[in-house]
Amino acid sequence: MPTTLSNELAQIVGSEGVLDRPEDLMLYEYDGSVDRALPQAVVFPTTTAQVAALARWAKEKGLPIVGRGAGTGLSGGAVAAKGGLVLGFSRMKKILEIDIENQRAVVQPGVVNLDLSVATTPHGYYFVPDPSSQKACTIGGNVSENSGGPHTLAYGVTTNHVLGLEVVLPDGEVIHTGGKVVDCPGYDLTGVLVGSEGTLGIVTQIIVRLVRLPEAVKTLLAIFETVDDASETVAEITAQAITPAALEMMDQLTLQAVESATRAGYPQDAAAVLLIELEGLREGVEEQAGQIGEVCRNHRARQVRVAQTEQERQLLWAGRKNAFGAMGRIATNFYVQDGVIPRTRVAETLQFIRQVSERVGLRIANVFHAGDGNLHPLILFDARDPEQYRKVVQAGADILSFCVSIGGSLTGEHGIGMEKNELMPLLFSEEDLTVMGKLKSVFNPDGRLNPAKVFPTTKGCGEIRIPPQAM
């Protein structure tokens, strides 16, 4: 970026709040996806007023704006696809208010997800949405992507825990939506903005709901000799009207990587395991644990273990939440997908994924939120091999297309971003997308907020885009 522009940005956020050297910008050209694109500058505002001033500046220059939390997103949402300005929120990380009596908190977008629960746990409360990256991901990013996590089976995703927002529009106007009350009158603009992936506004403050810590928590590990038995168990647990707080599944390839990395006690010879967590009143949790154990054994579980200590429980969860990172032990790279299917179609979908793996000649590990049908197939490959790279993107598109074909969705928590936008016509009609586009134009009329995200950019229905190769 020319020095004059950098100097102008420095007048808004200070010289220490601007990055424009090529070697610095390279650190912000990617997130957790396979897409890459260089911004022209990265700035770090500390106040809403600075964000508004940056929006006005970018409008004057005709530059795109992309908000960025911790860069842990998995669909390219924080990638500056058209260059321009990246707003990093790592300096807007204050917990502004904790209102225990009313079970609310007000935070800036750069607050790390887990930090809010750490701050509220001494009061007997926590922030429920818990993405696997919760030790690093920010609440602002969670709002943009409508993130989930293992415990959304019982409690819902981010939108179910956000009550109000402060948002900067692309012309620098600041608006407020929702509030601390449960149901504000008027249109639900908060609901519109959560999950809009930064294409409607720049979130600068968030009002969230806090939830009381449960009286009792029990974690079970059910071990199976076949993936089909584990899949059928998931459907049966739901049929029995039991709703665990979390119901996770990992296959053998995932287990081998996870156990090698964490030594959490996962069996490496099992075909699959279910990690099941129950929360609530002590008596109810004990009763449900017995019921679930019986269901697992009826579906040929080799063993059903109950974590005997808090340390053992935390270790099991550490293995699950570090599963993506553990893949580095068995592959140079992986490409993670985020399809959603009906719970009753898990076994059928995993069989299709096996067929895709055989067809492209690449291993695929599976770790996912089985209780709500949110799959995370991890396609293992070497990004240095152009042919593998092409195959892996096509395999991901094939898996997502299958998910949609059986009544599912393209994403459960990672967002559409620039990864799945060309597949949107598989899920929505032209009329659907037109209406969404009209809504976007109300907030973002010239398309400068996070461009080339969510909506298709090509004319072909479901035509995949092979992104520039990540090296």
Q: Which two tokens stand for residue 134?
A: 């919760």
Predicted pLDDT of residue 471: 42
Predicted pLDDT of residue 241: 85
CATH 3.30.43.10 domain residues, the chain: 3-88
Class at the top of the CATH hierarchy for domain 3-88: alpha beta
Are 365 and 257 a contacting pair, CB within 8 Å?
yes
Predicted pLDDT of residue 151: 92
Predicted pLDDT of residue 461: 52
- Please give the CATH architecture assigned to the domain spanning 331-415: 2-Layer Sandwich (3.30)
For β-strands 174-178 and 162-168, DSSP reports them as antiparallel
Domain 216-326: which topology? Alpha-Beta Plaits (3.30.70)
Q: Which long-range contacts (CB under 8 A, 24 or more apart) does 344-350 make?
A: 344/235, 345/373, 345/406, 345/407, 345/408, 346/231, 346/234, 346/235, 346/249, 346/370, 346/373, 347/227, 347/228, 347/231, 347/232, 348/406, 349/375, 349/402, 349/403, 349/406, 350/227, 350/231, 350/251
Q: Which two tokens stand for residue 196?
A: 């809009």
CATH 3.30.70.2740 domain residues, the chain: 331-415
Task: Please identify every stretch of the chain with a pLDDT value under 50, giving residue numbers as ranges.
Answer: 470-471
Are 189 and 177 a contacting pair, CB within 8 Å?
yes
pLDDT tens track for 116-172: 999 999 999 999 999 999 999 999 999 999 999 999 899 999 999 999 999 999 999
Predicted pLDDT of residue 469: 57
CATH 3.30.465.10 domain residues, the chain: 95-212
C-alpha–C-alpha distance, residues 173 and 366, integer Å: 44
Predicted pLDDT of residue 386: 93
Predicted pLDDT of residue 463: 59
Helix (H) or strand (E) holding 126: strand 125-126
**How many residues are present in the chain?**
471
Predicted pLDDT of residue 339: 96
pLDDT tens track for 250-269: 999 999 999 999 999 999 99
Domain 95-212: which topology? 3.30.465
Q: At what angle do helices 282-298 and 227-239 cross, to 10 degrees?
A: 140
User: Which residues are CB-contacts of 195 (< 8 A; sequence separation ≥ 6)?
Assistant: 143, 144, 145, 146, 158, 159, 415
